[in-house]
Structure 1
Amino acid sequence: MPEPTIAVLDVDGTLVDTNYQHALAWYRALRSLGETFPLWRIHRLIGMGGDQLVSALGGDEVEQRIGDEARDRWVGEFDELIGEISPLPGARDLLLAVKDRGHRLVLASSGKPQHVDAFVDLLDARGIADAITTSEDAEQTKPAPDLLQVALQKLGASQDTASVLVGDSVWDVEAAKNAGMPAICVRSGGFGDDELRDAGAVGIHDTPGDLAAALDGTPLA
């Protein structure tokens, strides 16, 4: 592929360590509404849009009965945990390494704007990113490609502009595939290497820092 000019980096779970807090917040929100699901099942869906998670977990009947209320309660539960969240090792180093190579950088998240703001501040990334997305920017969530397409649009780029996604879940990889982008993954999403490769990941690294150190061997060289 041509050398990418736009790097789209997932924030939640890829740059900041949020996946287990998200799983716990969903567990508590659903349990408060009388629906208890094993945490491991919830964790396997983290990275999928919250508008799809309830039905994926409990079926259409659960979604219709409590979906909207569960999402509202999830926000409150996650707010209680947000103070525990930290950047993943080398996350800011990765942002700087991408920019040092001349690429444009989008921090892409389908999270609530107030959560994304908190994460960007944790990364001290406002002066690094060329654009930032939140849940208010896309009509459909991952694995739909909308968020990644919006990321390109925010830079005035066309959909065939060379670009690459960095994510942490199979949902990221599938969204990238649907957007026509290659995807590089870090392991913080908790998915196996075989799952990420089967989904289409072109590279897998332990942490953002490890990816930063190996960047010359990736599509973001």
Structure 2
Amino acid sequence: MHRILPVLVLGMIAGCARLDHVGKAPDFSPVSASREYAAMAHGGPAYGARSGIRGEPASLWRGGRDSLLGDRRAQQRGDILTVVIEIDESAQIANSTARSRSGSESMSVPEFLGLPQRLAEELPDGAGMDPAVSANSSSSSSGDGSVSRNEKLTLRVAATVVEVMGNGHLKIRGTQEVRVNFELRELLVTGFVRPADISRRNEITYDKIASARISYGGRGHITDVQQPRIGQQLADIFLPF
């Protein structure tokens, strides 16, 4: 019993995670506790404070990121860029293998100074020397396998530069939550990007993100119904049959 009690306690703790939306819609994650907020709150100075070379107050040309032709692409910790996720992939693999083999061995000594005939007289009924040894074997195997996959996902999410790496690459993280009735849809994007891959529109596609982690899921009443109960999940893990 003392071994089962910790498992029951863990199951009860895991089940408590769903109590936040019993009878109500799930709550949004607090923005002030996110890494994006920390990066923007403690990142570099604002555009106007790091504009670089400026002209005279009456000049029509001003350098810097806040000017008309300035480079507004994300560069520093706390900057924001748009991640474009357009996944439209399909894969189909089919394999078929077949193998067969047959063999036959036979040894016969019909005449050898009359000894086989004399020896056959001494053998019990049903035994003989013609053929002395005979063996046959055959084997065959076949296999078929196929894989078919089709994925399509189109999303856009604003991500924040949370860290500038030592080689100049940017670590980004973007989260998005959309609540419809009692269901909360969550989108998470993290990874590393090169500043040169960011377009002039301050966008980057998902295929240019190294170590990309893209999660699109949700939580709420519908998700709870689609998931097996905690006890059933534990039973599937521990039961041997």
Q: TM-score range by the shorter chain?
A: under 0.3
More strand by share: 2
Q: TM-score, normalised by structure 1?
A: 0.22
> Which structure is larger by alpha-carbon Rg, 1 or 2?
2
